[in-house]
Chains A and B, each alone.
Chain A
Amino acid sequence: QVQLVQSGAEVKKPGASVKVSCKASGYTFTSYGISWVRQAPGQGLEWMGWISAYNGNTNYAQKLQGRVTMTTDTSTSTAYMELRSLRSDDTAVYYCARDLSVTTRAFDIWGQGTMVTVSS
Chain B
Amino acid sequence: DIQMTQSPSSLSASVGDRVTITCQASQDISNYLNWYQQKPGKAPKLLIYDASNLETGVPSRFSGSGSGTDFTFTISSLQPEDIATYYCQQYDNLPTFGGGTKVEIK
Q: Is A35 among interface residues, defined by CB-CB distance under 8 A?
A: yes
Query: Which residues of B lie under 8 Å from residue A45 when comparing CB positions?
Result: 36, 38, 44, 87, 89, 97, 100
Q: Is A61 among interface residues, defined by CB-CB distance under 8 A?
A: yes
Determine which of B1, B49, B94, B98 lies in contact with A106 in the assembled complex, contact meaning CB atoms within 8 Å: B49
Q: Is A27 among interface residues, defined by CB-CB distance under 8 A?
A: no
Query: Which residues of A lie under 8 Å from residue B49 when comparing CB positions?
Result: 100, 104, 106, 108
What's the nearest-Cβ distance from chain A to residue B44, in Å? 6
What's the nearest-Cβ distance from chain B to residue A85, in Å? 21
Docked Cα-Cα span, A50 to B89, in Å, equals 15
Interface secondary structure of B, over-half rule: loop
Docked Cα-Cα span, A76 to B91, in Å, equals 28
Q: Are A47 and B97 in contact, CB atoms less than 8 angstroms apart?
A: yes
Known contacts A44-B87, A44-B100; A108 and B55 CB within 8 A of each other? yes
Q: Chain B: interface residue count, which band? A: 20 to 34
Q: What count of chain A residues pass the 8 Å CB interface test?
A: 22
Determine which of A47, A61, A100 lies in contact with B46 in the assembled complex, contact meaning CB atoms within 8 Å: A100
Q: Are A47 and B44 in contact, CB atoms less than 8 angstroms apart?
A: no
Query: Which residues of A lie under 8 Å from residue B7 when comparing CB positions?
Result: none
The B-contacting residues of A in range 76-120, CB under 8 angstroms, are 95, 97, 100, 104-108, 110-113
From B43, B55, B99, name the one whose CB has the most chain A CB atoms within 10 angstroms: B43
Q: Are A111 and B43 in contact, CB atoms less than 8 angstroms apart?
A: yes
Q: Is A62 among interface residues, defined by CB-CB distance under 8 A?
A: yes
Query: Which residues of A lie under 8 Å from residue B55 when comparing CB positions?
Result: 106, 108
Docked Cα-Cα span, A110 to B43, in Å, equals 6
What's the nearest-Cβ distance from chain B to residue A24, in Å? 15
Known contacts A112-B43, A113-B43; A104 and B50 CB within 8 A of each other? yes
Q: Would you give 7 A-B contacts (Cβ < 8 Å), ordered by A?
A: A44-B87, A44-B97, A47-B95, A97-B43, A100-B46, A106-B91, A108-B49
